[in-house]
Amino acid sequence: MANRIRTTQQLLAAFPHVAGGADLTSVMAKYPMAITPYYASLIRRADSSDPIFQMCVPRSQELSDPPFLMPDPLEECHDMPVPGMVHRYPDRALVIATTMCSTYCRHCTRKRIAGTRETNITKRRLEQIAAYLTEHPQISDVIVSGGDPLTMSTEHLEMVLSRLRQVPSVQIIRIGTRVPVVLPMRITDELCAMLRKYHPIWINTHFNHPQELTPESIAACNRLSDAGVPLGNQSVLLRGVNDRPQIIEQLCRALVRNRVRPYYLYQCDLVRGVEHFRTPVSRGMEIMEYLRGRLSGLAIPMFVVDAPHGGGKIPVLPNYVVSQSPTHTVLRNYEGMLIAYPEPQDRCEGHSAMPQEECSPGVWELAAGAYSRIQPEKTVRHTRRRTCCPSNETAREY
Ligand SMILES: *Cc1c(COP(=O)(O)O)cnc(C)c1O
Ligand code: SF4
């Protein structure tokens, strides 16, 4: 932490070919820079073709300011019954335990908070939050976030966790942290020993690119897993960084291999200063279409848009329901196969008109129950299947 790259001079000393200048200085005045020496060491090319470089080195585009971008697009400030605590969903609340991070992500959704001051939650504020939680026993899941809570001293973090644990209605505590990615040596045995006193503790971390899965970060994840902390990952889709299906596939495979469950894949929020990172929503759809069927379900995150105006996280996925009748739901799989799923018999109200003797297969005929599937030719799976087990279809297929 003490050796973070924080100034233009330090940045130029580490990467002499970076264009400095007035732009960089004014970006950094608005959105502070900090890069841990470890994270800086993952940069392979000191320019915008490098994903790590893009995520941590300020760019002049951060000053571009289209009108629909906001400092607080999720309107977290309106959902704060106590300063520093966001209560948006019925059973969950999010505590901003610190405004400090070891590395400031250029794509951060809390750019309005992270790094503008570096302060940790006070005892007084923590008491107010604990009082609110006690008065609202429907909140069973508290997310300790920030900033990055694992930048706090172990003692300070323990003060937060132990106070939350004293509230009987708090069942699980989650920590949102990018420390395993940007400062993995912070995951010490001492920290793990402290965390395990407050179980059930879950941690969601923030890997965005396979290049971030290094021996050090993997070892940090292993230490947490071995302390009984289930690990999830929340990635953000970032233009030019990870917005290709193959990169997300590689990332998710590597995460699962290292006991980290891909949890969310976020559409970039409408935050001021991140316009150059935004991708169209359709890119997320393409990626989800690519992943399903190709990867273990364990490795597939949920693609979500965290809606403006505090609408919360909304899952977006390709449409797999093609049609419906009272008797059948017509689904498609990733191969393009169409399948009729018959509804339970006692609830069937009958189809509007039963199909004629001779009809050609189409979606309507599937919904009517005249055909059970429409099968694309020559898929690898279909070829394999036919050769090993004869089909015993009762309804007609095509
Ligand atoms: C994301 C978020 C949560 C947690 O949502 P999950 O879908 O349960 O992971 C809770 N509160 C706020 C304010 C959030 O932004
Ligand atoms: S670690 Fe999280 S809170 Fe900190 S800058 Fe990155 S995204 Fe923002």
Choose one of 102, 106, 110, 277 to mutate for the ligand 2 pocket test, by most ligand atoms within 8 angstroms of C-beta: 110
Q: Is the pLDDT of residue 204 over 70?
A: yes
Strand order in the sheet with 371-374: 321-324, 328-332, 338-342, 371-374, 396-397
Treating both helix axes as pointing N-terminal to C-terminal, what angle do 123-135 and 154-165 enclose, rounded to 10 degrees? 20
More confident residue, 171 or 69: 171
pLDDT at position 391: 52
Instruction: Determine whether 105 is an active site residue.
Output: yes
pLDDT over threshold 70, residue 58: yes
Least confident of 8-12, 36-40, 86-90, 383-387: 383-387
Distances (CA, A) of 275 to 64, 67, 101, 278, 352: 7, 11, 22, 5, 50
Does residue 263 have a pLDDT over 80? yes
Classify domain 76-315 by CATH number. 3.20.20.70
**Hey, is 124 helix, strand or coil?**
helix
Tell whether the model's pLDDT for residue 195 goes beyond 60.
yes
Token pair 């264009």 in the structure block, residue: 19
Q: Does the pLDDT of residue 305 top 80, yes or no?
A: yes
pLDDT for the residue 121: 96
Segment 95-117 mean pLDDT: 94
Nearest to 60 by CA among 276, 278, 280, 237: 276
Alpha-helical regions (H) of 295-377: 363-368
Active site residue 141: no
Q: If pLDDT is split at 50, 70 and 90, which confidence band does 298 have?
A: very high
Provide mean pLDDT across the span 207-213: 98
- Taking the C-alpha atoms of residue 81 and residue 135, their distance in angstroms, rounded to an integer, is 12
Q: Which ligand is nearest to the CA of 115?
A: 2
Q: Where in the chain is the domain with CATH 3.20.20.70?
A: 76-315
Cα 213 → chain centroid: 16
Question: Of residues 56, 108, 221, 268, which has the active-site annotation?
Answer: 108
Q: What percent of the chain has pLDDT over 90?
A: 80
Is the pTM here over 0.85, yes or no? yes
Does 260 contact ligand 1 (Cβ within 6 A)?
Answer: no
